[in-house]
Amino acid sequence: MTRLDVNGKAVEVDADPSTPILWALRDNLSMTGTKFGCGMALCGACTVHLNGAAVRSCITPISAAVGQKITTIEAQPADPVGKAVIAAWVRHDVAQCGYCQSGQVMSATALLKGNKRPTDAQIDAAMAGNICRCGTYQRIRAAIRDASASVSAA
Ligand code: FES
Ligand code: FES
């Protein structure tokens, strides 16, 4: 058994320590908001936070998360920054098929938690690893600027 902290809750996962966080979340904990895209840290669909930093859960083993805090898309509606990001996503009608979007939101919230007023270059750098096959990039950038304005005003 591996003990993990997921969204502030202590959970036990019956899986090999080398199991990627992605599969522990989806298969052991039935938390399916985190998506599998490439499995090779190339698309960002599986992005979660580990102690607040955006990481690719498809290549991060649960052994690396012991004693650390895992945060997933499921916790974002209850988080002030996550809430602001989701509200901006809705205002800008960002999602198309939606598959990449939980990863996009997780990268955006990690960015805004560390930097409430990122420049366009900082937004581009933070989001560069998140691929969207539907090409929603412009709306993602607009929504992040919008969320940044609400987070800075709060
Ligand atoms: S599934 Fe993890 S980066 Fe693509
Ligand atoms: S909204 Fe379809 S892949 Fe991004």
What is the full per-residue pLDDT of the chain (154 aa) written as tens digits?
Answer: 999 999 999 999 999 999 999 999 999 999 999 999 999 999 999 999 999 999 999 999 999 999 999 999 999 999 999 999 999 999 999 999 999 999 999 999 999 999 999 999 999 999 999 999 999 999 999 999 999 999 998 7
pTM of the model: 0.97
10 φ, ψ (degrees, to nearest 5): -80, 125
Rounded distance between C-alpha atoms, residue 125 and residue 120, angstroms: 9
Atom number in ligand 2 closest to CA 132: 4
Closest CA to 139 of 66, 147, 48, 126: 147
The per-residue pLDDT for 25 is 98
Regarding the beta carbon of 129 and ligand 1, being less than 6 Å apart is answered: no
Regarding the beta carbon of 131 and ligand 2, being less than 6 Å apart is answered: no
Closest CA to 89 of 73, 71, 68, 69: 73
User: What is Dmax (Cα atoms) for the chain?
Assistant: 45
Burial 35-66 (b: 16+ CB within 10 A, else e): bbbeeebebbbbbbbbeeebbbbbbbbbeebe
Regarding the beta carbon of 117 and ligand 2, being less than 6 Å apart is answered: no
What angle do helix axes 101-114 and 80-91 make, rounded to 10 degrees? 130
The per-residue pLDDT for 154 is 74
CA of 52 to the centre of ligand 2 (A): 24
The per-residue pLDDT for 153 is 86
CA of 8 to the centre of ligand 1 (A): 23
CA of 148 to the centre of ligand 1 (A): 26
Atom number in ligand 2 closest to CA 134: 2
Are 4 and 51 contacting, i.e. CB atoms less than 8 angstroms apart?
no
